[in-house]
Amino acid sequence: MDNLIFTSESVILYERKRIHALKYEEIICITTDRPYLVITTVESLQMFIQMSLSKVGELLPDYFCLCNQSTIINLTYAYLYEEHNGHFFVSLSAMLEPFEVSRRCKRNIKNKMLYINKNRGL
C-alpha cells in the first residue's frame, strides 16, 4: 500500500523505492480506477494510489472540487463550464475531454470557479 503525506504545498507519495513530491498546482485531476485513484499531472504523469476519493478530497486545498462520484478536479485549470442537453461539463486545460459534473456538485463548482477567476488577478 502506498504511503501519502499531505503538506500545505504538496502531496508526498512513498512508493516502493521511490519518493514523489507533487505540488498541488501540478495536479490537474484525481479519478477513480478501482481499487486505485489516479493522480494526473500537467505533464500527463499518472500516479496510482490506494485511498478513498472522499478522504483525499478532505486533505486537498479549496481550489480542488468534487466533480462527480469518481472525479476531483483542480479548478485553477478550469476554463469552461457549460450545459449540453441537460448535462453539465467542465473543461480543464491540458485535458482533451471535459468532465461531466453531477447535479449534486454543479452549484459548488460554479461558485468556486467564479471565486477563483475573480481573485486570480489579486
Mean pLDDT of 72-90: 93
Q: Global pTM?
A: 0.88
Q: To the nearest whole percent, how much of the chain has pLDDT over 70?
A: 97
Q: Please state, in angstroms and as integers, the Cα–Cα distance from residue 10 to each residue in 26, 46, 61, 106, following that order.
A: 9, 16, 10, 26
The whole-angstrom separation of Cα 53 and Cα 42 is 20
The whole-angstrom separation of Cα 69 and Cα 60 is 16
Q: What is the pLDDT of residues 89-100, one digit of tens each?
A: 999 998 989 999
The whole-angstrom separation of Cα 36 and Cα 39 is 10
More confident residue, 113 or 29: 29
Q: Please state the domain extents for the chain.
A: 3-119
Average pLDDT of the chain to the nearest whole number: 90
> Shortest CA distance to 30 belongs to which of 4, 15, 8, 110?
4
Whether residue 1 has pLDDT greater than 50: no
Radius of gyration of the chain, Cα coordinates, nearest whole angstrom: 14
Q: To the nearest whole percent, how much of the chain has pLDDT over 90?
A: 68
Q: List the grid coordinates of 38.
A: 489516479
Whether residue 115 has pLDDT greater than 90: no
Quote the CATH superfamily of domain 3-119: LytTr DNA-binding domain (2.40.50.1020)
Q: What is the pLDDT of residues 32-49, one digit of tens each?
A: 999 999 999 999 999 999
Looking at residue 53, what is its pLDDT? 94
The whole-angstrom separation of Cα 112 and Cα 81 is 12
Q: Sort 101 into a burial class: Cβ within 10 Å, 0-12 / 13-18 / 19+.
A: buried
